[in-house]
Every structure is written in C-alpha cells, then in structure tokens.
C-alpha cells in the first residue's frame, strides 16, 4: 500500500512527543518518513504528562480532519489529572519529582496561573484523589477506543502501552511496555527524546515500519520487537 503524509497519525503522551527531527532519530518522523518519504512532522501530537483525555481530544480532532490509514496510539497511565489546558499533571507533583509539564499548546491567555494549577493539583492528589474513579474512567476510555476504531475501520492500528498491559479488541497491541524499556522514566525527567536514546528511537521507528508492512488484522497481541535491531532478531 502507498501512503501519503495525511495517512499517518500518531497520538499519545511524551513517548511520542518529539517528532520533528529526523537526524536525531525521533521515532514518529522516522516511521512516517519510511512509509511516505515525507520529512514533515507527522500528524497528531504527543503531550508530555497528558491524561487519556488529551489523547482522546487530539485523536477525535485529527480523525475529523481526515481519516488515517495508519494509526499509532501511545496509551498513557491512568492517574494523570484531566484538564482542558494541555497541562501534563501526574502524582509526581506531590513529591516534587517532576509531575508537571507546561505544554507548548497551552492557550496562556485563557488558562489559570501556573502556580494556582500546581497548588490545586497537589491538593487534589493529597485530599480528593480516588483510585476507583481513576480506574473507572480509564477503563471506560479503553472501551470507547475499541468502539471508535470499529466504527472508523482504520486499516492499520497499533497500540503501544506506556505502563499497563492491556490488549485492545481492534488493531494490534504491542506486547512490550514502553516504561519497562526506558529506565529514565522512573525519575520523571525527560533526558532523551521520547525517553529513548537516539539509536533506540531509530530502532523503534524501523520496527514499527516493519509492523505496518507486515500488519495482520488477526494479530491482537504481538511482540513487535521494538527494542531489538535486525541483527539481534536473527541471532
């Protein structure tokens, strides 16, 4: 199948954030370039620290513009605070170990002052946080993903789980967990682009390219060998 730039859509959190530098190996643009020959920043966005709600908003907006032929979804963790300002907020904000990202997409004219948001987030986690509610909303999102994908019938869908094992009913879910292969993630500080060093970013892009070329609609869960180079695969 021949693909154009419009056909590729990549949405999620910081694991697909950096996507504009082909020389530095950002895996989203590596993948898009291999599939299309285009060197433009791929469609979609990765929002650092974002909740599933932001992924959902970006996904619906992009699909409204044009239905993709290849969709890569990076599914984030469940405990991040939902908000409409594109602020990434996770429990790390309580301890001061990361936990807050002011994303470039924020409309600063309409969003509350950052200090107020940070203080409100800390108070929320300390006094109002409900694990059961977070589980419920996250599971509802997982179910909606399958409903949406069934209705859209996108030819190639690949799910990448950032933290938790979950197999989706539509598309292929990678058996690999991204945080398990990015040791720096436990520090809540982004040292590498998309949490991976350059060579590993490139490898992920190439292995996802192979996954798209060899896509099988019957594969629900599959080890995509994202973190192995071609030489390792044949030893």
In the chain the domains, ranked by start, together with CATH numbers, are: 5-233 (3.40.50)
Chain segment 31-76, per-residue pLDDT in tens: 999 999 999 999 999 998 889 999 999 999 999 999 999 999 999 9
When pLDDT is cut at 50, 70 and 90, the band that residue 95 belongs to is confident
Close Cβ partners of 18 (under 8 Å, ≥ 6 residues apart): 24, 26, 28, 46, 193, 194, 201
* DSSP assignment letter at 217: T
187 close to 202: Cβ distance less than 8 angstroms: no
How many CB atoms are located within 10 Å of the residue 207 CB? 22
- Distance between CA atoms of 27 and 32, rounded to whole angstroms? 8
When pLDDT is cut at 50, 70 and 90, the band that residue 23 belongs to is very high
- Distance between CA atoms of 17 and 45, rounded to whole angstroms? 6
| pLDDT at residue number 234 | 39
What global pTM score does this model have? 0.92
How does DSSP assign 67-80, residue by residue? --SEEEEEE--S-S
């Amino acid at each position: 199948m021949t693909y154009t730039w419009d056909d590729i859509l990549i949405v999620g959190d910081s694991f697909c954030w950096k996507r504009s530098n082909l020389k530095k190996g950002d895996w989203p643009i590596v993948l898009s370039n291999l599939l299309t020959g285009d060197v433009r920043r791929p469609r979609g966005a990765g929002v650092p620290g974002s909740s599933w709600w932001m992924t959902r908003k970006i996904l619906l907006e992009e699909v409204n513009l044009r239905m993709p032929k290849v969709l890569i979804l990076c599914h984030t963790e469940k405990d991040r605070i939902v908000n409409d300002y594109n602020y990434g907020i996770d429990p790390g904000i309580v301890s001061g170990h990361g936990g807050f990202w002011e994303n470039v997409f924020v409309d600063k004219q309409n969003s509350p002052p950052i200090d107020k948001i940070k203080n409100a987030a800390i108070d929320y986690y300390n006094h109002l946080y409900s694990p059961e509610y977070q589980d419920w909303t996250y599971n509802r999102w997982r179910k909606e993903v399958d409903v949406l994908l069934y209705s859209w019938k996108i030819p190639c869908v690949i799910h990448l789980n950032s933290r938790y094992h979950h197999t989706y009913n539509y598309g292929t879910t990678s058996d690999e967990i991204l945080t398990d292969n990015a040791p720096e993630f436990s520090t809540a500080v982004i040292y590498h682009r998309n949490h991976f060093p350059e060579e590993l970013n490139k490898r992920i892009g190439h292995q996802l390219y192979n996954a798209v070329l060899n896509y099988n609609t019957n594969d629900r869960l599959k080890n995509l060998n994202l973190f192995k180079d071609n030489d390792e695969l044949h030893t």
